[in-house]
Structure 1
Amino acid sequence: MTGSKPPSLDHTISRDPTDSAALTLPGHLDTLDLEAMGEARAEGGGEGEHDYEEVERVGRYMVLERLGSGAMGVVLAAYDPELDRKVALKLIDTRQPTLDRARARLQREAQALAQLGHPNVVAVHDVGSHEGQLFVAMEFVAGQTLSAWMRLEAASELAPDTGEDADGPRPTRPWREVLEVFAAAGRGLAAAHGAGLVHRDFKPDNVMLGADGRVRVLDFGIARSANEADPPETDASPETRAKDAPAQLTESAAADTKLTRTGALIGTPAYMPAEQFRGSKVDARSDQFSFCASLHEALYGERPYPGGTVGALLYAVENEQLCPPPRDTDVPAWVHRAVVRGLARDPDARWPDMAALLEALADDPAPRRRPLWAGLGLSLILGASIAIVVASARADAQVCTLDGREDAQAELEAVWGAEARARVRAAILDTGLEHAPAVWTQLESRLDAHAEAWVDARVDACEAARDLSSPEQRELSQRRATCLQRDLVHLRATVEEIERIGAHGQSSPPIAERLGAALDSVAALPQLGRCADLRELMAELPPPEDPAAAARAEALDRRLIELQVKHNAGERAAARGALEAVIAEAEALDHAPLLTRAWLRRANLLEDAAEFDEAERAYLRSLELALASGMEREAASAARNLVWLMRYEQARPAEDATEWDLIAGAMTAAVDTDEAWANLNCTRGIVAYTEGDPDRARALLETCLRLREGDPNPDELGIASALNNLAIIEQARSDYAASRELQERALAIRERVLGPEHQLVAASLSNLGSLAGFEQDWENARDRHERALAIRERVLGPEHPDVASSLNNLSNAELSLDNLDAARGYAERALEIKLASRGPDHPSTASTYAVLAMLDRQQGRFDSAIENINRARSVWLSAYGGDNTLVGLALSVRGMTQLDRGRFDEAIADLEAAERLSLANEGDAGELADARFALARALVSREGASAADRTRAVALARQARAVYLEYATVKRRSLAEVEAWLETHAAEPASDPE
């Protein structure tokens, strides 16, 4: 069997407590290792209280009280009887076997702290284990975090306590006092750098100001040697996020939250330099940036870069959009210059080291004092990412003009009433296709269900709007009404597009494809629940303030929805042409939400047309726009699609997509919905499979499926896609029964929802055919592949890449049935299509080279066989690296070819390498058995074969026989061959002839 690609697949900011009794807690709690916490959460741990069994002793330490807890453990106040002192004891549960790497990280944290021994770094006294748990004993610091020092006393001393957080600059302490405290923290950081360590998460919360007046830097939990490589990417389940976060009107947490769940973004975004956002190597200059960001906040009462979301913040940092100092500040210009230099995007433009920065901050050319005056910014009920302008005319507009269900039904009637229903029915049935009545039944049912849900949502919105009084509530109600109107526009465009299904005659795309695409269009109608989702409403940016510009934006938005429907309906060429005009008008209007959605749609269209280079540029443009305007959902989609495009469609090296995967994870964490996490896990799962990591792929795809099935309004086609891809993974793991069950479930959903003549039905049939091939049921495999090919040729056209995949699979089936001429005809046609659509260096093209190589071998064309399999191996090697199972498959085919042509030493070298790769990757058992049996024959056939060769050969053949016996129903021919071989060779004497 040759490898082939799977079918197309388809926050609240936590403020510091004002309770002085709690001020000794945050610093110690923050020393829990960030990445280790992410690993623990990936294993299912929550973010709430850690399960903790009360104990009286931990090692020699007597437990006094529990100070608090984190995701991985607890922090205790304890007494050390040997040294007669109070300590802070961090107790971490590392008993789970999957947390070995986390345990090592935590031990490294303690060792790093213990090595420093500096008065401005928290001291570690002891590290040990207790009943399978790791503990770290450190000095007990009574005091408060620098963050609390900056906010709590400053606010109480300089301004009345309003009980709310200000959006504008907070009151600040005198700048000389700030510099004095930060200089001490800077000396601690410089000491860490001198010991070769980089903190990677310096911020005010990670500095303690003790009651003794001494400043100490904490949380070296993600510190590491400056020469140490970053950890490999990990993935945390979306179920690790807080499920009970209240849906309230509040500032977005994205810019202040530690995004450990992405497994890559280590640190706190609000204080991170550009290189850390990108996942590039960090060094002491990265800590310098974080130090200056913290110092800027302490001096001016606001952070240096604007952005209420991670995306907006990342854009500001990358483009050096530094906030100007407040007009009323008394911070001297020479201090500002020193801080700004440390905030440079380019690490080389910052200060050479912390010592140089501290020296500059101490070099006061003309000491002076001015009265401190800092205005307290007005507190907004909504975060910066929403930017609602309640003073606009829209706030005074009537929210709802409907009165009761009958009026809502009347509004819908113009879109999906009796006349529209009759037109759509006629358009579907007039196609004359055999399955048209079944398609009409599906369409009618789904359109009726959506229409009823729309009426319910509209009535509910109107009833909820009647008692609203505040401008903010009225604005949100207006947003809900606007959202429902946009959905009605989408429904109208969908119905009208289906009505035109026969208007294009027999032009491209074929009528069968347009019929299937009609079901796609209905399936793509928006989920109406989002119009009642507070986070969705808050995330929507407002229209332009100018009424004329707002009207233009609304009209362009309607056109964009109509073009999206055309795209979903298969009218890609028409949609693409019209979209260019929309983009041009949107560029002139310069309205970010509209531009972002337009470029994202353009990228989707280009990707569908296999114009991958142009699609990449369009995704990058949409990502840039989304990040700049704080559109987190669109940013997550663009970044995720970039990863898919680069790693799957273009088979580019992993490092090409690293930055976009990082951003996709960060934006998904910011959006934080089950749908967003499911999409990311599915994308990463398929990429992991193509990289030869079926175990990781399986875990990611199982999470994706669980999230989609748990949705109150499940996306059936999304569930089918996840089932389909999980089935492929189980097939790769040789669990054919599980794979078949999953694949049959996917096929049943797709046939029920989409009818029998749809490309996704063809995809399921194709995968069932491949599975039958793995089970050596080649007649069944051929039948499934023929059905898939027929659908694809009718729906997609004869030159589509998916047609080539079906041809490739049919060639494989015919080859296994010894129909060599038919096999070659299919393979050569497949190669022609793939070279035209994918090029010679795509892994899918390599799979056809491999089929041709096996055909050449069967027909005795050994030179051609070697040439074709070497082409396949070269492509797979470049795409996936030398330890991939497909590279092993190529070596196995080449080794067997060398065996057939009598070049036994070359055969042995290739087959031994193939065996090693298969064992290392836990590859397909049948393919490993085939390689071993071929290796056995080569060992006894080479000139001068020794007794050791013969003994080893018999052992290899017996190992192969054991596998063939296990799969006797599908390996009958191989079993007969190996048993006949053993009957001859196992009976021979093992000793060398004298």
Structure 2
Amino acid sequence: MTKRDTGRGGPGTGPLDSARSGAGTGRGTGPHAGRAPEDVPPVPQVGRYLLLRRLGQGGMGVVYAAYDPDLDRKVALKLLHPNAQGDAEEARSRLLREAQAMARVSHPNVIPVFDVGMWGDQVFVAMELVDGGTLGTWLKAAKRPWREVLERYLAAGRGLQAAHDAGLVHRDFKPANVLVSRAGRVYVTDFGLARQVGETSSEESSPEEAEVLQGADRRMLETTLTEAGLLVGTPNYMSPEQFRGTALDARTDQFSFCAALYGALYGTRPFDPGSLKAYASSQSVEAEGTQSLGGTAPLTAPIPAAPPPALIREPPRDVKVPAWVRQAVMRGLSLDAAGRFPSMQALLGALSQEQRLGQRRRWVAATGVVTATLAVAAGAAWQQSRVCVDAGAQMDDVWTPEAKARLESAFRATGKPFAEAMAQRTVQVLEQYAEGWKNQRVQACEATRVQGVVPEDQFDRQVVCLERRRKDLRATVELLAGADAAVVEKAVDVAHALPTLHECQDVEALAEQQRRPSDPVLREQIEKLEGSLSEVRAQVDAGRYKAALAAVKPLEAPVVATGYLPLRAELRFHLGWLQEQLGDSPAASQLLSRAVFDAEAGRADRLKVSILNKLLYVEDGQKHFGPAASWGELAEATLQRLGGEPVLEADVKVNQANLAVSQGHFEEARARLVQARALYDKALPAQHPKRARTLFLLGRVMRELGEPPQALAVMEEALTQTEAVVGPLHPDVARRHGLLSWSLRELKQDDRALPHAQAVVDIFKVLYGEDSPQVAEALDEVGMCQLGLKRYDDALKTYERALALKRKALPADDEKLQPSYDGVGQALLGLGRARDSVEPLTLAVSFASAPADALGESGFALARALYETGRPPEARGEATRARGRFSEAGMDARVGEVDSWLKSLPSEAPPPPARTPARPRRR
């Protein structure tokens, strides 16, 4: 596998180079044949992206349709103009700002950003490719009814609202910066002018941005992104505060939004940019003080009088648009920001009055309130605004102070040193999950019952999804409230394994799933079975496999009887994975395969990806590499249809990396893990266990690729992350130290390995006791480091201590005794006590079930000891046997050393008086 170009150099050659000869005329025979010359990309490739055609051009850069060969998908790639205004660092800052701003907003109506990077001296941003045009071109394509226009703008407004919720102001909202797919989905894009709320156009980068861009050239962070006196935005849609260059907040975008909507509805501009600029310039900065972030007007602020007609024009009378739409648009165009709506959400609510009024009429009719007095109407509006206040209250029955106290008490009762730290971290994760559930439940209610922007059937699906997540949390809380020591060790993982709440926000995916039956009895049965499967899932996540299998088997028949395919897929998913964990991989493959088809038939795509990922793992374990790869590719294809799910995608890439390692394809494994790491870093909190595990695995793969310094740095970073996740006294931390010690010894860096080996001993003493078998095994690794440093006295004491502990706890024929016998013998041989070393080394080679490499090392040491004690024939026999074991283990270098030693022996001569130094055994 060849290394891919990182894309940091200048334009290189690529698969599209053959089309370059036709670029000048557009009449070549390559992929660009027949296109206008200006639409043909000037170069075939930017980084790893293959350019296909130009899509558009703006003041900052050119956008191309491109192909990403790594992820096998088309993207829109924005490339900064080589001759962009300002110096190169300012240009780079603008585009990096755009990528940063857009990447911070995750919403169906905001264009997703996939990648950002440098190509030579230019910056590129890769985004989702939308198969349509801009909102401006959509408006020009045909005469649109006002309802259809309003529907598109409401969707765009929700994208803006999501940006505002993330603390951003777009500053350049216009129809050209909104995309409409062929299916009608709306995306807000071009956040190149986005700012933190409250920033003026002349401020430097915020501390948050500096933190995100840390490591970049400091001059870039200190570059002012707007020159003095330079207008930022598009004049036809700019607010007065933008013309003035004063502080901006979300109401700035509200003005631009209403200016664009005014033009779309009435076919004319709401104001003359020149006149508005002159008006803005004539106003003193002091008069605008209330427009700053700290001076935002309260919700009850009076609405100023209408602006002069010469500035904001009254809409044409001959265009049939409802008065409530006109009133909302005109309020959003108030010259004074305090006179606009307090938020985009409030504006969108006002523009959704048709839906809301219809719902209100039905509500009023149902309650018998038919009076038209202002007092009653106001009372009805107030009551309606309160209907969602308690929408999240159901969570208070699951995550309660009593539940938290029971969990903490159960953890403390285990007596584990890490119990307090694990309780604290676990509670934090559960509280965040419960709070996220409540917020999402309230928001879903308000979007339907108050704002009227979400249909009832969509709301129903969200409620069903959220109710299932509540059951999942209940099952996890109950499990953790009765935790034993083994569960406490895994508690943070169990909490993080809760199914994502994000799925309940994906209304498109929810709508595609198999609908639940209308029969209320059957629906109730499904809900009850879901609760039982939630309990099974919690048991599986906690590693209680036998208990989980006992609980899930009785559910199989009733689940199948419901005919509800997503539920059947989930049941077979758990059954299959439990079979794998209990040692029956063929049965696991069969059950998981059936679960995949159930999930496909039920359109449960996220569940399908999770099943496919486990199936990939199971087939890999059976060395069925072809089928494993196919399941992984199917998971990728499903994710592509979903539009990207970072955590699920990263999960798949980790198992694909393991598959590559199984086949010795370490370059591929590294590439997969690098991608997985980037996805996890973007989507998961800093202390999520998956981030540390993936990083450590990446370090081990890098070591196999012959990059020891880089590999060790990555593994040490993973150790630091692990300590942050679970605390310093946790078995996972000990495992990281142990593997670091082993890796350093392999590199002959025993002095660096020894502290890690000793750290394992220290942790195990606290966790399991001074005289535990775990401490004895950890002492073996300390002894190995001491042998490598030729500290034979220390090594002898260490191994004798390990051997004494093992003899107390283990039977005489237990294979775990072998490394300690070997260590005692190796240390004695190193001290020149060859005669004393023969007995422990003879015992070390007597464990026939021990690994071949271990027996080879013990046997070769025994051969040298026998020779030094005057027993050449026995020495030759042991050396020959050791050679065979080295050969069996694939250790060709050690085979050669044995051969050289045998050849060095005289045919018939007494043994040499000088002792042969002991060679540390490799493990």
TM-score normalised over the length of structure 1: 0.46
Name the structure, 1 or 2, with higher relative contact order (CA <8 Å, separation 6+).
1
Structure with bigger gyration radius: 2
